[in-house]
Amino acid sequence: MTRSRWSDLDRPPLNAVALRRAVVVPGGLWTALDVAESTGSTNADLAARAAEGAAEGAVLVAEEQTAGRGRLDRRWSAPARSGLFFSVLLRPGEPADGAEPVPVHRWGWLPLLAGVAVATALSRAAGIDTALKWPNDLLLSVDGEERKAGGILAERSGDGAVVVGIGVNVSLRAEELPVPTATSLALAGAQGTDRDPLLRAVLRSLADWYGEWRAAGGDPAVSRLQQTYAAGCATLGRQVRAELPGGGELAGTAVGVDGDGRLVIAGPAGEQAVGSADVVHLRAAP
């Protein structure tokens, strides 16, 4: 027997028509918004649309993802309608609204930009304290401990296109957590878990930050992105261990984020910057 989308009253379906009316507006970044009942991966689906020439600003939301992926190819799964699972199509390599294309070497800031946009939007819309673990894990505090509530995956898709996937646990219950270090907005005491206003807030914040970054030619300092990211990054000032893609590791104190978005770690051999690593926080935040 097929369950109704309204079978769990704590998890009502998204209102696609109202969302589209609210965020797809003349002159705005978002040009299309679709809600899928279930799909393997919104990133994969939107990348296929990008290859077919979809315009910048396409948004694809899924009520359920069956093959979602996070950084380092980790699986991301959650019950249907328990979170925000969506991807957006950006084309920083193309001119837009008088802005020149953003140089490719600055595209590495896009996942960090998305992290700032998500964290600031949820802080305001849900009334909770948020922080970022480098590069773009969303952290919330539960019983005095930092736990992961969301993540971001940015992937290049053809010339001038980037698909940014965002996943946030909204109403996930304690018994549904995939790992003990995970959490959700509800478990962190959010003021509300209605996904419609939360999604609108995140998309508006993302459009604002992306517009500032594009207008600055992708410069993270001029657009205030670098400073804002550093202010909200829980990794900085911590003793960390960076597990590198090749199998090595680097331990020390996370002292900054450089102009390329890399984490700067001060260790026995001096300061080194890492652009891709799985970072473990080794001691509590000061």
**Would residue 7 count as lying in a domain?**
no
- Residue 2 is classified by DSSP as P
**Amino acid in the structure at residue 72:** L
Do 91 and 109 reside in the same domain of the chain? yes
State how far Cα 158 lies from the chain centre: 21
**According to the model, what pLDDT value does residue 186 have?**
97
Q: Is the pTM of this model over 0.85?
A: yes
Enumerate the β-bridge partners of residue 99.
96
Quick one: pLDDT at residue 99?
82
Does one domain contain both 219 and 246? Answer: no
- Domain annotation covers residue 136: yes
Q: Which domain holds residue 204?
A: 16-231
- Considering the domain architecture, whether residues 104 and 221 belong to the same structural domain is answered as yes
What pLDDT does 155 receive?
Answer: 96
Question: According to the model, what pLDDT value does residue 2 have?
Answer: 45
Q: What is the pLDDT of residue 1?
A: 40
* CA distance to 27, 38, 212, 254, per residue, from 280 (Å): 42, 33, 31, 11
In a domain, residue 10? The reply is no
| Cβ atoms of 94 and 56 closer than 8 Å | yes
Q: Are residue 130 and residue 210 in the same domain, yes or no?
A: yes
For residues 63 and 168, membership in a common domain is answered with: yes
Q: Give the CATH number for residue 120.
A: 3.30.930.10
Report yes or no on 261 lying in a domain. yes
Residue 1 is assigned to a structural domain of this protein: no
267 found inside a domain: yes
Dist CA 73 CA 174 (whole Å): 25
Please check whether residue 272 is in contact with residue 250, taking contact to mean a CB–CB distance below 8 angstroms.
yes
What per-residue confidence (pLDDT) applies to 159?
73
The label of the residue with tokens 């705005």 reads 28
* Residue 130 covered by a domain: yes
**Segments of the chain with pLDDT less than 50:** 1-2, 72
In a domain, 62, yes or no: yes
Tokens at 177, concatenated: 């957590």
Q: Read off the CATH number of the domain in which 256 is found.
A: 2.30.30.100
